[in-house]
Amino acid sequence: MAIARLSHVGFNVPREIFEQEVEFWENVVGLKQVHGIEGQRAFFTADPLRDHEFILFAVDGAVANNNTDDCMLNHIAFDVATDAEVSEFSARLRAHGLAVDEEGRGRKRVDIVSPAGIRFEINTPPYMNPRGRDRAEGARQTEGSGIPA
C-alpha cells in the first residue's frame, strides 16, 4: 500500500478571528467554501473534482502561528498554471492591504501570511520552469557521486 497524494490540511485558528479567516480564504485567496459548521469548521476546495483540501477549525485559546517560535508548520503552497496568475494573485493580495514577498528562488512566486498567521505561497510548479527541472535532473545525476549538485 502506498500513499497516493495529500488529501487535505486542517488548521486551528482562534475562535475570535475564525470568521475573518474564513472570509480571507474564500474572498481574498479564492478557495471555494464547500461545507462546514458555522462558527466551528469551514471546508474549502480549489479543485472542483475534490470535496475539500483545506479546513479551518475554530478553537478556544492561543494558537501557535507563523509569528511564534513554537509554530510547527512552516508553510503550505498552492500552484497556479502561469507566471501571469502569480502576478494576478500578488496584485489582488496587495489590493487587500497584505504584505507580499515576491522573492522568486528560480520561479515566480509570492509568500503571504493570513490574518490568523498561516504562511502560504502561490507559485508555478517546478516543472513549469525549465531551469528548475534542469537543476533537479542534475541533482539526480550527481547523487551519490560526491559531486555537489
Q: What is the pLDDT of residue 140?
A: 41
| Distance (Å, whole) CA 18 – CA 37 | 12
**What is the number of domains present in the chain?**
2
Query: Nine-digit cell at 11?
Result: 488548521
- Domain range spanning residue 52? 1-61
| Distance (Å, whole) CA 109 – CA 122 | 6
DSSP label at residue 126: G
| Distance (Å, whole) CA 13 – CA 107 | 31
Q: What is the pLDDT of residue 136?
A: 44
Question: How many C-beta atoms lie closer than 10 Å to residue 117's C-beta?
Answer: 18
Q: What is the pLDDT of residue 64?
A: 86
> Which residues of the chain carry a pLDDT beneath 50?
133, 136-143, 145, 147-149
Tell me which of 61, 93, 113 is where a domain ends. Answer: 61
The CATH number assigned to the domain holding 76 equals 3.10.180.10
Q: What is the pLDDT of residue 45?
A: 92
Three-state SS at 2: coil
* 110 part of a folded domain: yes
Q: Are 13 and 37 contained in the same domain?
A: yes
* 114 part of a folded domain: yes
Question: If you count them, how many residues does the chain have?
Answer: 149
Q: What is the pLDDT of residue 105?
A: 66
Residue 32 near residue 46, CB atoms below 8 Å? yes
Q: Are 24 and 53 contained in the same domain?
A: yes
Tell me which of 41, 61, 81 is where a domain ends. Answer: 61
Q: Are 49 and 85 contained in the same domain?
A: no
Tell me which of 61, 82, 101 is where a domain ends. Answer: 61
Q: What is the pLDDT of residue 139?
A: 42
Q: What is the pLDDT of residues 130-139, one digit of tens each?
A: 555 455 444 4
**Distance from first CA to last CA of the chain, Å, rounded?**
32
